[in-house]
């Protein structure tokens, strides 16, 4: 449409479109700019960039399904501490939120309403309790060493063996 026949509404749309377009263009490198340079409106530019980096709806659904599976099968790895496990867990949750995935399961509501700081604190407390128990068990094993005596009997003289037993008992 030539500018000479623009209505007031058309001029307003052009002005609104002109505000974010330079911001988007400044944020792009040359390859990305080439992808969107032919777009007439900011909305077209945004949609093309969205498909490029986030994928189509089909790709989004596949990503959501993978993240849901990762969330449901989430386990603490062997030799992993609570802090690094929590970072992995937070990454899964943030990825789901960026794709607008939310849980409606009533059982999950308790975890959703529980602040991350409280969850982290509870898990760290649990980890310390387990480590303390393991340390206590190791110390108990060291303290409770069993002393076994080996005895042998000689038929020749019972009296000598009685004297030896009395002597050992006195020493003990």
**Residue 17 falls inside a structural domain:** yes
Percent of the chain at pLDDT above 70?
76
**Residue 158 falls inside a structural domain:** no
**Residue 38 falls inside a structural domain:** yes
Query: What's the pLDDT score for residue 13?
Result: 86
Contact 101, 68 (CB under 8 A): yes
**Residue 69 falls inside a structural domain:** no
Query: What's the pLDDT score for residue 87?
Result: 92
Higher pLDDT, 6 or 162: 6
148 pLDDT exceeds 50? yes
**Residue 36 falls inside a structural domain:** yes
106 pLDDT exceeds 50? no
**Residue 15 falls inside a structural domain:** yes
Choice among 3-17, 26-40, 141-155 with the minimum mean pLDDT: 141-155
Q: Crossing angle for the helix pair 82-98 and 57-72, nearest 10 degrees?
A: 150
**Residue 6 falls inside a structural domain:** yes
Hey, what are 30's tokens?
Answer: 């040359």
CB under 8 Å to 93, separation ≥6 — which residues? Answer: 71
91 pLDDT exceeds 80? yes
Domain extent for 7: 1-54
Query: What's the pLDDT score for residue 158?
Result: 56
Q: How confident is the model at residue 172 (pLDDT cuts 50, 70, 90)?
A: low
Percent of the chain at pLDDT above 90?
4
By the 10 Å C-beta count (0-12 exposed, 13-18 middle, 19+ buried), 126 is classed as exposed
**Residue 8 falls inside a structural domain:** yes
Contact 54, 60 (CB under 8 A): yes
> Count of domains in the chain?
1
Q: What is the reported pTM?
A: 0.41
In angstroms, the CA 71 to CA 123 distance is: 17
109 pLDDT exceeds 60? no
């Amino acid at each position: 449409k030539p500018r000479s026949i623009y209505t007031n509404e058309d001029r307003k749309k052009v002005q609104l479109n002109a505000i974010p377009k330079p911001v988007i263009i400044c944020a792009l490198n040359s390859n990305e700019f080439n992808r969107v340079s032919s777009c007439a409106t900011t909305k077209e530019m945004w949609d093309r960039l969205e498909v490029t980096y986030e994928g189509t709806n089909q790709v989004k659904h596949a990503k959501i399904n993978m993240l849901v599976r990762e969330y449901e099968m989430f386990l603490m790895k062997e030799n992993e501490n609570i802090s690094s496990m929590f970072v992995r867990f937070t990454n899964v949750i943030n990825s789901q939120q960026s794709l607008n995935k939310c849980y409606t399961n009533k059982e999950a509501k308790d975890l959703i309403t529980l602040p991350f700081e409280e969850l982290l604190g509870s898990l760290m407390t649990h980890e310390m309790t387990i480590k303390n128990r393991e340390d206590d068990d190791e110390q108990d094993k060291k303290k409770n060493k069993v002393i076994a005596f080996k005895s042998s009997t000689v038929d020749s003289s019972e009296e000598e063996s009685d004297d030896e037993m009395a002597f050992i008992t006195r020493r003990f």
